[in-house]
A and B are shown apart, each in its own frame.
Chain A
């Protein structure tokens, strides 16, 4: 459906703000229950199966920048996600000299068009961290509450993996995983020597079909470009569009929500939004409002929804909206492997992401930091594009001729060309993605001095890593060096030290930000109850990663999906019981 406007005429049962993992899942479950649904999305419609939306299988010469990143596609000119770190006319600010980078996607499916499809369940420990290490808070629910939903998400969307029986890495309903690539087999050798586990990864791509509606992976390695046969998960292709086909779902695109509207009693009555098409304000009415705009965007909408009954913003009587913002930690390292130089060519694309990963293996009681991390691996003979052949000014010296003489760094000519061909496919690297400790003092709030081009007040961030994260990053680098060296690699670059927090990336960079509308049993210290229902407004729900009490050392999407399904079931039940 293209853009359309409805002026406060007929009310919907439910308005859902945002069409990513959470909003998409809510649109499917609520519409399947027979409810009428409006999905309000700040960006345009998108379906990679349509030729005009397709970036998959395009060679770099179909881009004048040969696939280099741009402001609105920082991960490459063919990346599916439209938006980026810095959206024209939609600023955000920072406070007290602190750092936070905010990645947004303005399109149907939201950031599920970008992510690596790493689809890990949180484990039993991940819901009860405070009980284990005394830091932060426990979730008001546990793994058993979400397990049935994780099972359903696995079957609905599809994820490959292997049953491992690791307590805090729960198994699911897995499709068969692809065999590892050469660099992953090298890494495994290194990891074995160091005594660190490495198992088949768990990614939401269809190695086998789960239904007749979606195609099966044909191994082009380009999931970040969105799959034209819908063999990978994104909320648009797997949730929102199927919901629109089957149920009473209207999609409002290019619609930027300003606030949740309320009545005298403080109940939510709908939303008010600005159409980006004509820059006019519109209102929609509904019995229930569901926010799935992303942890920070939903918090922004709530804080901007001030009224007589909600003077500090809807859902914010505790003052907790925006608080406990936290992202995964991240840092990376790379090596060059002499024995992989000049190697035999074959189609090594595989799926769009890692075929193996390392779940957290350590015992934090014996370490000087509280929370764990997982390791992602990368390398291989990827598509030559923008960036190929780069850095020969520092890397050429690792190439040796037939007499064992190293090439000089830099240079030019036929020799350089041959050396680039030799080095192709011989570098590999690893990335640690870890759990941080949620802090009251890490937050987003409304910047009193700045509005976006729609006149909506914007977010201001305040975020500092603690010692816990810094020490974890140091541990990551020690581990990286051990594995890469044992795998036969020569480390590239230098090991980052304390002056750079051991290479710890700025908060927000891993794009796993959660916690801004956290759930809890105590209305004074949390925003939502254990059903993701606002403590102070019973027909307002949040279905993105805002409700997370703590972000595990996993990617958040699978938990967003399971939680959004559970919340949607609860909404259906409450509407039936006429409680809301």
Chain B
């Protein structure tokens, strides 16, 4: 399904479209990036689910100051390179905003970590985190980004940064750009006919001889199956 079809579905489907479309004619409205995020999950939603998504989307967790810190950090974790965009370009901060409200158990830890950044920035550089230079930011990030070599006093900071890294990666690879970078080529209808021969050869594995005649042959997928009384396939 392409993006246009997705959008059509959004406009005509059963999802509550009020937030996104208030006051606009769908056909004329330019679709902002990550528009789908604005509407809650699509497909098979119960009334309770729709309501909850809308409630979460209407609330705000991060302050502007926190969003700025996060924007700096997620682009350090997943920066732009010659093959793929930076985390902020694919909406990772918006994703985190939603996840904080969806899984509120992480809120205190996340906020605590963001507050600690200012403490640490003040201790080291006499500034708030958002005022730091790039190299100063990296100095602080390096204190908590390497679990095996971090100093014991940064143990809590390491745990926070692990969560931040995990969330950033979740938000990054669950996008069209993330799929492209990963080289994911599934989720397209096909007839599975096994691992390509050259891949099996490279990995030194092979199909068991006795099963080869029994495996599904893609060309048989259109024919209704027939068995004899013993369960042998005869057509």
Contacts and interface: CB of A to CB of B under 8 A. Distances in A.
A412 interface: yes
A412 B73 CA distance: 9
A521 B195 CA distance: 52
B199 A182 contact: yes
Interface in B181-235: 181-196, 198-200, 202-203, 205-208, 211, 214-217, 220-225, 227, 231-233
Nearest to A200: B211
A176 B216 contact: yes
A466 interface: no
B184 A386 contact: no
A220 interface: yes
Contacts of B175: 60-61
Interface in A76-98: 77-78, 80, 82, 88
Interface stretch (B22-30, B59-67, B119-127, B143-151): B143-151
Output the residue of B36, B141, B203, B233 with the most chain A CB within 10 A: B203
A61 B170 contact: no
Contacts of A66: 95, 170-171, 174
A225 to B, nearest CB: 8
Contacts of A343: 199, 203
Contacts of A179: 192-195, 207, 215-216
A152 interface: no
Contacts of A72: 46, 48-49
A59 B173 CA distance: 11
A381 B192 contact: no
Nearest to B39: A64
A198 B196 CA distance: 21
B191 A387 contact: no
B174 A417 contact: no
A385 B203 contact: no
B84 interface: yes
A119 B179 CA distance: 33
B203 A64 contact: no
Interface stretch (A138-146, A205-213, A501-509, A522-530): A205-213
A417 B165 contact: no
B36 A62 contact: yes
Q: Is the interface of A mostly helix, strand, loop or mixed?
A: loop
A178 B212 CA distance: 10
A101 B23 CA distance: 46
A299 B103 CA distance: 34
Contacts of A382: 186
A350 B192 contact: yes
Interface residues of A, number: 100
A64 B187 CA distance: 19
A384 B179 CA distance: 7
A223 B79 CA distance: 35
B173 A351 contact: no
B44 interface: yes
A65 interface: yes
Nearest to B1: A57
Contacts of B223: 208-209
Given A64-B41, A64-B98, A384-B179, A420 B77 contact: no
Contact of B196 (A212, A344, A350, A389): A344
A388 B173 contact: yes
Interface in B139-184: 141, 145-149, 158, 161-162, 165-166, 169-176, 178-179, 181-184
A411 B187 contact: no
A427 to B, nearest CB: 14
B169 to A, nearest CB: 3
B134 interface: no
Contacts of A59: 176, 179, 187
Contact of A348 (B36, B57, B186, B222): B186
A176 B233 contact: yes
Given A58-B42, A212-B224, A393 B147 contact: yes
A64 B185 contact: no
A347 B173 contact: no
B189 A219 contact: yes
Interface in B18-52: 34, 36-37, 40-44, 46, 48-49
Interface stretch (A167-175, A287-295, A313-321): A167-175
A70 interface: yes
B14 interface: yes
A211 B176 CA distance: 37
B144 to A, nearest CB: 9
Interface stretch (A47-55, A245-253, A300-308, A445-453): A47-55
A496 interface: no
Contact of A64 (B1, B95, B195): B95
Contacts of A186: 203, 205
Contacts of B181: 417, 421
Contacts of A490: none
B213 to A, nearest CB: 10
Contact of B183 (A51, A63, A345): A345
Contacts of A417: 78-79, 81, 84, 181
Contacts of A189: 205
Interface in B89-110: 95, 98-99, 102-103
A182 B187 CA distance: 17
Contacts of B148: 397, 408-410
Nearest to B38: A64
A172 B231 CA distance: 6
A392 B165 contact: yes
Contact of B147 (A58, A394, A421): A394
A67 B225 contact: no
Contacts of A160: 216
Given A77-B41, A177-B214, A392 B169 contact: yes
B53 interface: yes
B117 interface: no
B164 to A, nearest CB: 10
B176 A61 contact: yes
B192 A219 contact: yes
B132 interface: no
A364 interface: no
Contact of B225 (A177, A209, A413): A209
A384 B177 CA distance: 11
B187 A383 contact: yes
Nearest to B170: A386
Contact of A65 (B41, B77, B178, B192): B41
A125 interface: no
B102 A65 contact: yes
Nearest to B12: A51
B182 A421 contact: yes
Contacts of A46: 44
Contacts of B161: 410
A393 B44 CA distance: 35
A13 to B, nearest CB: 32
B207 to A, nearest CB: 6
A160 B227 CA distance: 13
Nearest to A77: B41
Given A384-B174, A408-B146, 5 more contacts: A59-B187, A64-B41, A65-B41, A344-B196, A389-B170
5 contacts: A179-B193, A179-B215, A209-B223, A349-B187, A384-B178
Q: Which 10 A-B pairs have the closest CB atoms?
A: A389-B169, A179-B194, A185-B205, A66-B174, A60-B174, A176-B216, A345-B183, A349-B186, A388-B173, A219-B192
